[in-house]
């Protein structure tokens, strides 16, 4: 299930796999995969199960297959930490890359990439510093403000809380579209959420299992009543 949103006059398709497609440019957008995070934890003697990075790569396989995108744009934090560059993790990424040798992959470096280092050169991933200006968008890692263009960013791992009668509660990752700026959810499984406080005119799309649903109104735990 997908949702469509128009930002700066361009149509973006939002996928429940926490990715967005900019169809006109044949470009798939993801942010904050944090690959190797679990491995970094294990290296620090904190037991985290295997499989998070592999599962994320599998998700990316399906996204590429169903969108047929020719370019993958990663909005920062591809690798979590230097300690997470475990041989096994890098091998899984290399295998994934070889399955999609044709696709162009571009990484806009984020704060984690600067410490973790670029992915191995042989993977053929172009690593650049932000901003990447492709009108009408500016692609960055940190969600900064820009006068000239509509900002598309990552970094925040945005999420919202929902609550309803009978103690129904949920905390879900979301796509957050403001008037001048959009923030994508973190692509990685082992990443966590940071609650956002959207303005009333902002549009928020939550990822609820296999659906992308737009939610309106006050959606964080704080309200406008104060």
Partner 1 sequence: MVTSQRPDDAASSLPSALDAWFESRGWAAFAFQREVWRAYLGGESGLIHAATGTGKTIAAWLGPLLEWHAECVRGEALATRQRVMRRSRAPHLRVLWVTPLRALAADTRDALVEAQTALAPEWTVETRTGDTSTTVRARQARRLPTALVTTPESLSLLLTRQDIATLFDDLRVVVVDEWHELLGTKRGVLVELALARLRRLRPGLRTWGLSATIGNLQDAHDTLLGVRPRPERSRIVRGVEPKRVVVDAAIPPVVERFPWAGHLGTQMLPQVVAAIEEGRSAIVFTNTRSQTEVWYQAILQARPDWAGRIALHHGSLDRKRREWVEHGLRAGLLRCVVATSSLDLGVDFSPVDRVLQIGSPKGIARLLQRAGRSGHRPGATSRATCVPTNALELIEIAAARAGMERGTIEARLPIARPLDVLAQHLVSVALGGGFEPDALKAEVRETRAYAALHDDEWDWVLRFVTSGGASLRAYPEYAKVVRRNGAFVVESAMVAKRHRMAIGTIVSDGQIDVRYLRGPRLGSVEESFIARLQPGDRFVFAGTPLEFVRVRDMQAWVRRAKSAAGAIPRWQGSRMPLSGALSAAIRDQLGEAARGVVRGPEMEAVRPILEVQRRWSRIPAPDELLIERVRTREGHHLYIFPFEGRLVHEGLAALLAYRMSRSAPITFSMAFNDWGIELLSRDPAPLPESLAAGLFSAHDLAQNILASLNATEMARRQFREIARVAGLVFPGYPHAGKSARQLQASSGLFFDVFTRYEPDNLLVSQAHREVLERQLEGSRLGRTLARLSSSRVVITEPRRTSPFAFSLLVDRTRERVSSESLADRIRRMQMVLERVAG
Q: Which string of DSSP letters, residue by residue, matches 181-196?
A: EEEPPB-SSS---EE-
Task: Return the residue of 167, 199, 201, 209 that touches partner 1, per CB under 8 A.
Answer: 167
| Beta strand extents in the chain (DSSP E only) | 2-7, 10-15, 19-22, 27-30, 71-74, 104-108, 125-128, 132-134, 137-139, 150-153, 158-164, 168-177, 181-183, 194-195, 203-208, 211-215
Least gap, CB of 170 to partner 1 (angstroms): 8
**DSSP three-state, residue 71:** strand
Q: Tell me if 105 sits within 8 A of 126, measured CB to CB.
A: yes
User: Binding of partner 1 at residue 225 (CB under 8 A)?
Assistant: yes
User: Binding of partner 1 at residue 58 (CB under 8 A)?
Assistant: no
User: Binding of partner 1 at residue 46 (CB under 8 A)?
Assistant: yes
Q: Which is nearer to partner 1, 62 or 222 (CB)?
A: 222
Least gap, CB of 195 to partner 1 (angstroms): 8
| Cα–Cα distance, 198 to 195 (Å, whole number) | 10
Q: Which two tokens stand for residue 14?
A: 């939002």
Least gap, CB of 194 to partner 1 (angstroms): 10
Write out the binding residues for partner 1, residues 67-86 only, by CB under 8 A. Answer: 80-81, 83, 86
| Cα–Cα distance, 13 to 26 (Å, whole number) | 11
Q: Which is nearer to partner 1, 24 or 226 (CB)?
A: 226
Task: Return the residue of 5, 10, 13, 218 that touches partner 1, per CB under 8 A.
Answer: 218
Q: Which is nearer to partner 1, 136 or 171 (CB)?
A: 171
Interacting residues toward partner 1 by CB under 8 A = 38-52, 55, 80-81, 83, 86, 112, 115, 162-169, 189-192, 195, 197, 208, 213, 215-219, 221-226
């Amino acid at each position: 299930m997908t949702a469509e949103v128009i930002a700066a006059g361009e149509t973006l398709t939002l996928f429940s796999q926490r990715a967005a497609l900019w169809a006109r440019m044949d470009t798939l957008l993801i942010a904050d995969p944090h690959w190797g995070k679990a491995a970094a934890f294990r290296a620090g003697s904190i037991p985290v199960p295997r499989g998070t990075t592999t599962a994320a790569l599998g998700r990316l396989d399906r996204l590429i297959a169903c969108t047929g995108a020719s370019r993958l744009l990663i909005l920062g934090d591809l690798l979590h930490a230097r300690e997470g560059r475990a041989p096994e993790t890098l091998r899984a990424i290399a295998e994934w890359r070889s399955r999609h040798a044709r696709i162009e992959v571009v990484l806009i470096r984020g704060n984690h990439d600067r410490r973790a280092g670029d992915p191995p050169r042989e993977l053929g991933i172009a690593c650049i510093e932000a901003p990447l200006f492709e009108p009408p968008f500016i692609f960055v890692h940190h969600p900064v403000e820009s006068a000239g263009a509509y900002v598309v960013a990552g970094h925040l791992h945005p999420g919202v809380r929902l609550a309803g009668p009978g103690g129904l509660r949920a905390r879900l990752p979301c796509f957050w579209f403001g008037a001048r700026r959009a923030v994508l959810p973190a692509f990685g499984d082992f990443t966590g959420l940071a609650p956002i406080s959207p303005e009333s005119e902002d549009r928020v799309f939550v990822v609820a299992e296999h659906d992308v649903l737009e939610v309106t109104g006050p959606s964080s735990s704080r309200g406008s009543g104060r």
